Chain A
């Protein structure tokens, strides 16, 4: 079993829809990251959170430490949101490293 599980693997939505991507992890963590990767390969860090909820524009990330679960929500989705969204958990203290989920491919159609 992978340490970080994302669902769904693929998601197709119509412009304007509300999107939810889920991430479950099995290890103790210092922080959880949500990343966005566009087709060219470049990665942008969207959120880094260790508790509660963060919001940036149309994106919202939540984490439940007790349940070892996080969600990334996109409100009013737009075709430019089409990308791979990757959940990563950071753990290890002085031996810190990120462990990544396999990603969710989101396609938003106009």
Chain B
């Protein structure tokens, strides 16, 4: 069974540009989560999508947004990139209810903003 996949693995952008990160969950998983791991800050919750709807978002500005497609894959968009957006962005998926199910993590996308 294929795990959670993310693309691209690395992304280099300049300040002010937009970045789009993609995530494909494990087959059958309906929930997708996005996390940011910035150097020295640890993992932080960004967004949770389930059945195509945004269920919860972390303490991030509105320029961080995303969506979940009918096939449950997901996209994270970061607009007006700032230098501090440089981080590892991790996607995870779970089978249904978040508080009952284990989350499975993808390998991440390393975003570098110059």
Q: Which residues of A contact B (CB under 8 A)?
A: 30-31, 33, 35, 40-45, 48, 86, 88, 90, 92-103
Closest residue on chain B to residue A95 by CB atoms: B56
Q: In the complex, are the beta carbons of B55 and A96 less than 8 A apart?
A: yes
Task: Pick from B17-25, B39-47, B71-79 the stretch touching chain A.
Answer: B39-47
**Interface-central residue, B33, B42, B104, B108, by most chain A CB under 10 Å:** B42
Contacts of A45 in B (CB 8 A): 102-105
Given A30-B99, A97-B56, decide whether A41 and B45 contact each other with a Cβ distance below 8 A.
Answer: no
In the assembled complex, the CB of B48 is this many whole angstroms from the nearest CB of chain A, namely: 7
Q: Which residues of B contact A (CB under 8 A)?
A: 33, 35, 37, 42-45, 48, 55-56, 58, 88, 90, 92, 98-105, 107-108, 110
Contacts of B105 in A (CB 8 A): 35, 42-45
Q: In the complex, are the beta carbons of A100 and B56 less than 8 A apart?
A: no
Contacts of B98 in A (CB 8 A): 90, 96
Which of B42, B56, B107 is close to A96, meaning CB atoms less than 8 Å apart?
B56
Closest residue on chain A to residue B97 by CB atoms: A96
Given A42-B108, A90-B98, A90-B99, decide whether A96 and B48 contact each other with a Cβ distance below 8 A.
Answer: yes
Contacts of A42 in B (CB 8 A): 105, 107-108
By Cβ-Cβ distance, the 7 closest A-B pairs, closest first, are: A30-B99, A43-B105, A100-B43, A96-B98, A97-B45, A102-B42, A95-B56
Whole-angstrom CA separation of A84 from B42 in the bound complex: 11
Contacts of A44 in B (CB 8 A): 105
Which of B55, B88, B101, B110 is close to A95, meaning CB atoms less than 8 Å apart?
B55
In the assembled complex, the CB of A35 is this many whole angstroms from the nearest CB of chain B, namely: 8
Given A41-B88, A103-B42, decide whether A96 and B103 contact each other with a Cβ distance below 8 A.
Answer: no
